Amino acid sequence: MREKLIEFRNVSFRYDEEGPWVLKNCSFSIYKNEWLAIIGHNGSGKSTIAKLMNGLLFPQEGEIIINGKLVNEETVWDVRKEVGMVFQNPDNQFVGTTVQDDVAFGMENRGFPREKMIERIDSSLKAVQMEDYRLTEPHRLSGGQKQRVAIAGVLAISPEVIILDEATAMLDPRGRHQILKTVTEVKDEHHLGLITITHDLQEVVQAERVIVMNAGEVWKEASPREIFAEKEQLQHIGLDLPFVALLASELKELDVQLTHDPMNHDELLEDLWTLHSKM
Ligand X SMILES: Nc1ncnc2c1ncn2[C@@H]1O[C@H](COP(=O)(O)OP(=O)(O)OP(=O)(O)O)[C@@H](O)[C@H]1O
How many Cβ atoms are within 10 Å of 95's Cβ, its own excluded? 14
- The 3-state DSSP class for residue 151 equals helix
CB of 17 or CB of 115, closer to ligand X: 17
The residue among 186, 171, 7 whose CA lies nearest residue 84 is 186
Count of H helices and E strands in the chain?
11, 10
Stretch that binds ligand X, among 38-46, 67-75, 151-159, 173-181 (CB under 6 A): 38-46
Is residue 178 part of the contact set for ligand X (CB under 6 A)?
A: no
CA distance 212 to 231: 13
- The 3-state DSSP class for residue 193 equals strand
Is residue 44 part of the contact set for ligand X (CB under 6 A)?
A: yes
Q: How far is CA 220 from CA 57, 195, 212, in A?
A: 24, 16, 5
- As measured in angstroms, the least distance from the Cβ of 257 to ligand X is 37
Is residue 77 part of the contact set for ligand X (CB under 6 A)?
A: no
Is residue 59 part of the contact set for ligand X (CB under 6 A)?
A: no
Stretch that binds ligand X, among 43-51, 120-128, 136-144, 238-246 (CB under 6 A): 43-51
CB of 47 or CB of 178, closer to Mg ion: 47
CA distance 148 to 128: 6
For 49-84, the three-class secondary structure string (H helix, E strand, C coil) is HHHHHCCCCCCCEEEEEECCEECCCCCHHHHHHHEE
Stretch that binds ligand X, among 36-44, 137-145, 182-190, 231-239 (CB under 6 A): 36-44
| Binding at 148: pick from ligand X, Mg ion, none (beta carbon under 5-8 Å per type) | none
Q: Report residue 277 CA to chain centroid gap.
A: 40
- The 3-state DSSP class for residue 183 equals helix
Report the interface residues with Mg ion, using CB under 5 A: 46-47
| Binding at 99: pick from Mg ion, ligand X, none (beta carbon under 5-8 Å per type) | none
Stretch that binds ligand X, among 37-45, 112-120, 143-151, 264-272 (CB under 6 A): 37-45
Mark residues 94-133: x for contact with ligand X by CB under 6 A, - for none.
Answer: ----------------------------------------
Is residue 47 part of the contact set for ligand X (CB under 6 A)?
A: yes
Amino acid at 192: L
CB of 134 or CB of 199, closer to ligand X: 199
| Binding at 44: pick from Mg ion, ligand X, none (beta carbon under 5-8 Å per type) | ligand X
Amino acid at 221: E
The alpha carbons of the chain give a radius of gyration, in whole angstroms, of 20
Tell me which residues touch ligand X (CB under 6 A): 15, 22, 40, 42-48
